[in-house]
Amino acid sequence: MIQTRQPRLRALVLALGFAAAALSPVYASEPAATADSAVKADIPFEQFTLPNGLRVVVHTDRKAPIVAVNIWYHVGSKNELPGRTGFAHLFEHLMFQSSENHEGEFFTPFELVGATNQNGTTNSDRTNYFQNVPTTALDMALWMESDRMGHFLGAVSQEVLDEQRGVVQNEKRQGENQPYGQVFERLLKASYPEGHPYRWPVIGSMSDLNAASLEDVRRFFKSWYGPNNAVLVLAGDIDLETAKEKATRYFGDIPAGPTLAQPAVDPAPRNTSTRDEFTDRVPQTRIYRTWNIAEFGNADVERLQLLSQVLGGSRASRLDKRLVHGDKIADRVSTSAWGSQLGGMFYVQADVKQGVDPAVVEKAIEEEMARLLADGPTQAELEQARTQFKAGFIRGIERIGGFGGKADALAECTVFMKDPGCFREGMA
Question: Which of 319, 317, 341 minimizes the C-alpha distance to 328?
Answer: 319
CATH superfamily of this structure's domain 10-33+265-393? Metalloenzyme, LuxS/M16 peptidase-like (3.30.830.10)
User: Which CATH number describes the domain made up of 44-262+399-427?
Assistant: 3.30.830.10
Which strands make up the sheet holding 55-60, listed edge to edge?
A: 46-49, 55-60, 230-236, 66-73, 127-134, 116-122
The model scores a pTM over 0.85: yes
Q: Domain boundaries in the chain?
A: 10-33+265-393, 44-262+399-427
Torsion, Cα of 2, 7, 13, 14 (10° steps)? -110
DSSP string, 385-408: HHHHHHHHHHHHTTSSSSTTSHHH
CA distance 40 to 397: 9
DSSP 3: -
Q: Determine whether 378 is exposed, middle or buried from the number of CB atoms within 10 Å of its CB (0-12, 13-18, 19+).
A: exposed
Q: Quick one: which H or E segment has residue 130?
A: strand 127-134
What's the CA gap between 230 and 128, in Å, rounded?
Answer: 9
Element (H, E) at 427: helix 423-427
The pLDDT profile of the chain, 428 residues, written as one tens digit per residue, is: 222 223 333 445 555 444 344 454 444 334 434 434 444 579 999 999 999 999 999 999 999 999 999 999 999 999 999 999 999 999 999 999 999 999 999 999 999 999 999 999 999 999 999 999 999 999 999 999 999 999 999 999 999 999 999 999 999 999 999 999 999 999 999 999 999 999 999 999 999 999 999 999 999 999 999 999 999 999 999 999 999 999 999 999 999 999 999 999 999 998 889 999 989 889 899 999 999 999 999 999 999 999 999 999 788 899 999 999 999 999 999 999 999 999 999 999 999 999 999 999 999 999 999 999 999 999 999 999 999 999 999 999 999 999 999 999 999 999 999 999 999 987 76
Query: Using an 8 Å Cβ cutoff, are 313 and 39 in contact?
Result: no
In angstroms, rounded to a whole number, what is the distance separating the alpha carbons of residues 347 and 359?
18
